[in-house]
């Protein structure tokens, strides 16, 4: 009987608007607890962190040193694509030759101008004979002229540099290339764990090309770190199937004991080991 | 509404802790295993440092040749190198890790009279464990053999396949004034003369079963085929047909020999028994057919023929008799050697007045030139594991025997000084 009574009571609660409010309140309390323990509500203690840079001075020979870099694409095809087109588009009056003489003209006057000015000097000397007082003016005029020429040259150089910068296609390619830490903040703590792990595990990984018969081997390992950065566990998500390869991966992972800085919470990373750039 | 809010919150809570990103490492940072080879220490009995030095030298030479290792300079070794302990609990792995060694070879010897006992161990310094260990018993004169055997064992432990360092290389040398057959170790040591024909001996080949060789000799005034047992020294002339009896090659099962005969006027390749009986004529063409080399399964031969003008390498299906041309480039391709794994065929090509060694896949693809520089490199032959190639070269003046890895790296002279050496052949497991 009591069982029926409880059912009825529960049915009553469902129709009771207080039940919804109670549930929301409970949800709010739980959420507050989660926020409280996650530390989001409180400002973190800010340490004065010194910037740390990872510098890899070891350049090991690799099959394709540029592999993987966005700027690895050969610059020549780009240059070809850019250069021949304007020439083809305007064969009767190629713009390039025009631009070049201009550049030569601009460069030459630097040396040529004094020579051009000098012939004036004898003239001035001739004038001097008749009108002596204008000598100082003449000098000032010469000086002004030289300053104007220098300014013009600087302006021309600036213009040429702007033109070159506009034409430089490499600029765009390099700007997309990875440089330093991908999401680094300039400090060890802010540095990318991915970049650090990549570098560490790569250096810890030893495998000779004479140990493996195939180059299409691949293994994926999941690493788990605790909040202090200690390696808690590792397991193969996918093995290569070749014992020597998998063993070399295991040995590399076993050398990793701790991250340089605690991540603050449990962290998992999937690492893929393959032989795309193994020496031929 | 409330339910959907709950699911969202739970989902967020679960996902926030495990934001996963894959990191891809496309090549090992170290592509040679840092290895320390220590000097073996006396355990008991007499102390003979020269034995320990010889063992270490052989191990270093063999393992360096393998290309698998980066040997750590013994001058950097710390105190553990002087400790005789050979159990993994007795080795100070920390010291070796400090030197960057990922593997270390330690050993000890015991001498009682002329009886030598050699204990050799390979340790993994990362896993702090024994990878392989062997105890060899023999005479003091066997120290080199023991070291070669352990080098084979080290390769087996780290690659899954034993090395070829315990095998032998046969070659022809004229150091006595006559071209005679010699045998030597893989590093060129312990060279011994096998024949005393005082004539011309050519084209040796090892039997895949048993320690015996076939070769051509002009001992009787003609180029006849001989067979010789190494241990007993017994010798027999097994083919002395009219004309040439040259370039004999054992079939991989050891029961038959492919041989070039010119009994009908033109050089053709025949199949004969090990007793010399004629089994089958393999080639039948107006051109010169010579230098057969068996595929590892014994179902095909690679050979040289000028049937299409210049000498080129051809492949013949021994059962069906179908022939196809293998080499297309060059004008003179000779002396093919099929690798024991069957994946490549080595040959020499004459270009600009000198021979160089090349390899090609049996389907004619992926041709690679392995040797460069001055001198002619000829007569390539594979090691039984397919890791190395031995060949003759006159790059240093007189012809000598050289050895290199199958990818063309690590080339070095191995034959001893004196006379001209050529026509190498590599034995199977000895």
Label residue B207 by pLDDT band (50, 70, 90): very high
Instruction: Report how many Cβ contacts below 8 Å link chain A to chain B.
Output: 114
Query: Do the Cβ atoms of B159 and A211 come within 8 Å?
Result: yes
pLDDT of residue A50: 57
Q: Which residue of A has its CA nearest to B31?
A: A208
Question: How does residue A137 score in pLDDT terms, banded at 50, 70 and 90?
Answer: confident
**Shortest CB distance from B27 goes to which of A27, A204, A276?**
A276
Where are the alpha helices (H) located in A131-257, listed in sequence order? 135-167, 170-175, 193-204, 243-254
Q: In what order do the strands lie in the sheet with B300-305?
A: B289-294, B300-305, B312-317, B323-325
Closest CA to B224 of B210, B237, B207, B206: B237
Task: Identify the burial level of A172 via C-beta atoms within 10 angstroms of its C-beta, where 0-12 means exposed, 13-18 middle and 19 or more buried.
Answer: exposed
Candidates B23, B123, B388: best to mutate against A (most CBs of A within 10 A) is: B23
- DSSP per position, A239-259: --S-HHHHHHHHHHHHT--B-
Among all residues of chain A, which has the CA nearest to that of B126? Answer: A251
Residue A274: closest C-alpha in chain B: B26
CA distance B30 to chain A (A): 5
* Nearest residue in chain B measured CA to CA from A196: B23
Burial class (CB in 10 A: 0-12, 13-18, 19+), B307: middle
Q: Would you state the structure tokens that stand for residue B360, as one six-digit string?
A: 């090609």
Q: What confidence tens digit (pLDDT) does each residue in B373-411 have?
A: 999 999 999 999 999 999 999 998 999 999 999 999 999
CB-CB under 8 Å, A24 with B160: no
Minimal C-alpha gap between A204 and chain B (Å): 7
Q: Which of B150, B183, B148, B182 lies closest to B166 in space, CA to CA? A: B148
Q: What is the pLDDT of residue A140?
A: 84
The values of phi and psi at residue B141, to 5°, are: -70, -10
In tens, the pLDDT along B22-42 reads 899 999 999 999 999 999 999
Provide the percentage of residues in chain A whose pLDDT is more than 90. 25
**A106 min Cα distance to partner chain B (Å):** 51
pTM for the predicted model, two decimal places: 0.71
Nearest residue of chain A to residue B69 (CA atoms) = A208
CA B93 to chain centre: 33
Closest partner residue to A278 (CB to CB) among B27, B67, B126 is B27
Chain segment A176-218, per-residue pLDDT in tens: 334 344 444 445 555 578 888 999 999 999 999 999 988 899 9
Shortest distance, CA A60 to any CA of chain B (angstroms): 7
Interface of chain B toward chain A, CB-CB under 8 angstroms: 2, 5-6, 9, 13, 17-18, 20-34, 66-69, 102, 124, 126-127, 158-160, 387, 405, 407
Mutate which of A210, A221, A249 to test chain B, going by most B C-beta atoms within 10 A?
A210
Query: How confident is the model over A64-120, as pLDDT tens digits?
Result: 444 445 444 444 444 333 333 433 333 344 444 444 434 333 333 343 344 343 444
Cβ-based contacts of B124 with chain A (< 8 Å): 251
A207 vs B9, B31, B127: nearest CB:
B31
Q: Which of B18, B34, B159 sits opposite A268 (nearest CB)?
A: B18
How far away is chain A from the Cα of B67, in angstroms, using its nearest Cα? 7
CB contact under 8 A, B28 and A251: no
- Residue A247 gets the label, from left (phi > 0), alpha (psi -120 to 50) or beta, of alpha
For A48-178, where are the alpha helices, taking DSSP H only?
A: 75-82, 84-89, 95-107, 109-130, 135-167, 170-175
Contact A244 B6 (CB under 8 A): no
Residue range B85-90: average pLDDT?
Answer: 92
Flag if B2 and A20 touch (Cβ within 8 Å): yes
Q: What percent of chain B has pLDDT over 90?
A: 91
Is the CB of B126 less than 8 angstroms away from the CB of A251?
Answer: yes
Dist. CA B282–CA A69, nearest whole Å: 55
Q: Do A198 and B23 touch (CB under 8 A)?
A: yes
**What is the value of ipTM here, to two decimals?**
0.81
pLDDT at A126 over 70: no
Q: Quote the CA–CA distance of B28 and B34 in Å, as a whole number.
A: 13
């Amino acid at each position: 009987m009591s069982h029926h009574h409880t059912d009825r009571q529960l049915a009553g609660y469902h129709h009771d608007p207080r039940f919804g409010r109670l549930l929301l309140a409970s949800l709010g309390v739980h959420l507050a607890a989660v926020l409280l323990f996650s530390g989001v509500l409180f400002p973190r203690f800010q340490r004065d962190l010194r910037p740390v840079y990872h510098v890899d001075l070891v350049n090991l020979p690799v099959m394709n040193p540029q592999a993987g870099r966005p700027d690895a694409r050969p610059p020549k095809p780009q240059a070809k694509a850019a250069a021949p087109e304007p020439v083809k588009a305007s064969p009767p009056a190629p713009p390039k030759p025009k631009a070049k003489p201009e550049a030569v003209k601009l460069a030459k006057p630097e040396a040529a101008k004094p020579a051009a000015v000098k012939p004036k000097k004898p003239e001035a000397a001739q004038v001097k004979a008749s009108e002596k007082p204008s000598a100082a003016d003449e000098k000032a005029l010469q000086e002004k002229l030289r300053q104007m020429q220098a300014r013009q040259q600087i302006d021309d150089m600036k213009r040429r540099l702007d033109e070159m910068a506009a034409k430089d296609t490499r600029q765009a390619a390099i700007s997309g290339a990875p440089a330093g830490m991908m999401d680094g903040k300039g400090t060890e703590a802010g540095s990318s764990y991915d970049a650090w792990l990549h570098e560490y595990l790569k250096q810890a990984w030893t495998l000779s090309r004479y140990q493996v018969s195939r180059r299409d081997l691949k293994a994926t390992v999941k690493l788990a770190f605790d909040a202090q950065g200690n390696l808690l566990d590792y397991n193969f998500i996918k093995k290569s199937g070749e014992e020597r390869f998998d063993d070399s991966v295991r040995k590399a992972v076993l050398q990793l004991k701790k991250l340089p800085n605690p991540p603050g919470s449990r962290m998992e990373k999937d690492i893929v080991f393959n032989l795309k750039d193994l020496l031929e | 509404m409330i339910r959907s809010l709950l699911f969202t919150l739970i989902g967020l809570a679960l996902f926030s802790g495990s934001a996963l990103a894959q990191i891809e490492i496309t090549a090992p940072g170290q592509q040679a295993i840092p290895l320390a080879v220590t000097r073996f220490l006396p355990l008991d009995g007499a102390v003979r440092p020269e034995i320990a030095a010889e063992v270490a030298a052989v191990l270093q030479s063999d393992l360096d040749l393998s290309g698998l290792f980066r040997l750590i300079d013994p001058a950097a070794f710390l105190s553990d190198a002087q400790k005789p302990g050979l159990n993994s609990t007795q080795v100070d792995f920390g010291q070796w890790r400090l030197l960057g060694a990922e593997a270390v070879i330690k050993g000890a010897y015991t001498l009682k009279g002329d009886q030598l006992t050699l204990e050799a161990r390979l340790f993994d310094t990362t896993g702090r464990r024994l990878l392989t260990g062997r105890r060899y018993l023999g005479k003091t004169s066997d120290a080199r053999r023991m070291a070669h055997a352990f080098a084979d064992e080290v390769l087996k432990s780290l690659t899954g396949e034993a090395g070829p360092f315990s095998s032998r290389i046969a070659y022809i040398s004229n150091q006595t004034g006559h071209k005679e057959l010699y045998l030597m170790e893989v590093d060129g040591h312990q060279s011994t003369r096998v024949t005393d024909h005082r004539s011309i001996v050519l084209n040796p080949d090892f039997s895949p079963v048993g320690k015996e060789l076939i070769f051509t000799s002009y001992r009787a005034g003609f180029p006849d085929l001989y067979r010789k047992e190494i241990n007993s020294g017994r010798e027999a002339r097994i083919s002395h047909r009219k004309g040439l009896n040259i370039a004999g090659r054992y079939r991989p099962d050891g029961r038959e020999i492919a041989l070039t005969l010119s009994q009908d006027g033109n050089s053709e390749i025949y199949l004969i028994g090990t007793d010399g009986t004629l089994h089958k004529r393999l080639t039948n063409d107006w051109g010169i057919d010579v230098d057969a080399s068996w595929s590892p399964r014994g179902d095909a031969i690679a050979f040289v023929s000028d049937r299409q003008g210049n000498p080129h390498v051809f492949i013949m299906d021994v059962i069906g008799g179908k022939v196809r041309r293998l080499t297309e480039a060059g004008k003179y391709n000779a002396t093919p050697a099929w690798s024991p794994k069957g994946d490549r065929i080595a040959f020499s090509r004459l270009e600009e007045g000198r021979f160089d060694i090349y390899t090609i896949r049996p389907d004619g693809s992926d041709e690679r030139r392995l040797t460069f520089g001055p001198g002619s490199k000829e007569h390539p032959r594979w090691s039984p594991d397919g890791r190395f190639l031995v060949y003759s070269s006159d790059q240093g003046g007189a012809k000598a025997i050289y050895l290199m890895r199958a990818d063309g790296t690590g080339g070095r002279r191995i034959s001893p000084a004196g006379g001209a050496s050529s026509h190498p052949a590599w034995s199977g497991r000895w």
